[in-house]
Chains A and B, each alone.
Chain A
C-alpha cells in the first residue's frame, strides 16, 4: 500500500518472508515497538529515521533499496 502523498513503498514483508523471520523477532532485534514496525510494514509511515533504517538493514542484512522503493508515476508501468 502506497500513501497518496508520495510513491515510496515499503517491502518489509517480502524481506521477512525471504529470511523466514517474524515481525516480533525483528522488533526484538531492532529494538522497535511492534506497533511502529506494523505501521512501517503496512505502508502507513510518513517518514523513517536514519537510525531505524540502519537497524533494519543490519537486522535483515540488506540495503535501503531493498526495503524502500519509489513506485512509477505512470500506473501503466505497474
Chain B
C-alpha cells in the first residue's frame, strides 16, 4: 500500500470508527435480544406442552362434537365454569403441538440472531483492520446468503408447521391431507413468500459485490506508481 492510500485509509477509518462502534454495540444488543426472544419462545412452548399434559380441561378436547359432548357432562361443565376458555386443536399430542408451535416462530428468531451475529462480526473486523477489505466483502456476502437461503428455509419450516397445525385442527381423514395442502401451497407460492428476506439477501449480496469491486480497485490503486 502506498503512503498516500495508507493515509487516506487511516483518515477514513477514523471517520467511520465512531459510528461503526455505535452500530457494533447496537447489533450486539439486538443479537442478545433476539437470542433471549428465541429462548423465551422455546421455553413458553415447552411450558404450554407441560401444562397441557397436566390439565386436559384447559387444553385439547378434540373436535367440535367432542367439545359439545364434554360440556354436556355436568361435572365437567361445573369444573370448567369460571375458568378462561382456551382454543384447542384436534391433535391431542401435547409434545407434537409444542414442536409445531415452536417451529412457527423459532426459525425466524434464530435466523435474525444469526444474521445480527454475522453483521456484528463483519463490522468488528472492519473496525479492527480496514473498512474496504476482503473480510468486509466476505462477511457481507455470507450475511446475504444467510438472509436469502436461511430466510427461505425458515419460511418453509414455519409454513410446514402451520399447515400441519391447521390440518390437525381440521381432523382430516387419511388421504385428505394432500387436498388440504393445495390451497396453502398456492397461496404460499404467490402471497406468503418471504419477500423481505429475499430483498434483504439480494441487497446484501449486491453490497458485498460493490465492496469486492472496491477492494479490487484499491489493490489496483496500491500498485499504481
| Cβ < 8 Å to B, chain A residues 21-47 | 32-33, 35-37, 39-40, 44-47
B3 in contact (CB, < 8 A): yes
CB distance from B106 to the nearest CB of A (A): 49
| Pair A47/B224 contact, Cβ less than 8 Å | yes
A54 in contact (CB, < 8 A): no
Question: Which residues of B are found within 8 Å of A35, using beta-carbon distances?
Answer: 2-3
**A53 vs B222: C-alpha distance when bound (angstroms):** 17
A48 in contact (CB, < 8 A): yes
Contact among B2, B219, B220, B225 for A48, CB-based, below 8 A: B225
| Pair B220/A36 contact, Cβ less than 8 Å | no
**A39 vs B224: C-alpha distance when bound (angstroms):** 9
Contact among B2, B220, B222, B224 for A49, CB-based, below 8 A: B224
Number of interface residues of A (CB under 8 A): 14
Number of interface residues of B (CB under 8 A): 8
Kindly report which residue of chain B lies nearest to residue A39, judged by CB atoms. Answer: B225
Kindly report which residue of chain A lies nearest to residue B1, judged by CB atoms. Answer: A35
**A45 vs B225: C-alpha distance when bound (angstroms):** 7
| Pair A44/B223 contact, Cβ less than 8 Å | yes
**A70 vs B224: C-alpha distance when bound (angstroms):** 18
Question: Which residues of A are found within 8 Å of B224, using beta-carbon distances?
Answer: 45-49
Q: Mark B148-189, 1 if CB is under 8 A from A, else 0.
A: 000000000000000000000000000000000000000000
CB distance from A27 to the nearest CB of B (A): 11
A52 in contact (CB, < 8 A): yes
| Pair B223/A39 contact, Cβ less than 8 Å | yes
**A37 vs B3: C-alpha distance when bound (angstroms):** 12
**A2 vs B224: C-alpha distance when bound (angstroms):** 15
Q: Mark B92-111, 1 if CB is under 8 A from A, else 0.
A: 00000000000000000000
Q: Mark B1-36, 1 if CB is under 8 A from A, else 0.
A: 011000000000000000000000000000000000
**A35 vs B2: C-alpha distance when bound (angstroms):** 7
Q: List 30 A-B contacts (CB under 8 A).
A: A32-B225, A33-B2, A33-B3, A35-B2, A35-B3, A36-B2, A36-B3, A36-B225, A37-B225, A39-B2, A39-B223, A39-B225, A40-B225, A44-B223, A45-B223, A45-B225, A46-B219, A46-B220, A46-B222, A46-B223, A46-B224, A47-B220, A47-B223, A47-B224, A47-B225, A48-B224, A48-B225, A49-B224, A49-B225, A52-B225
Which chain B residues have a beta carbon within 8 Å of chain A's beta carbons? Answer: 2-3, 219-220, 222-225
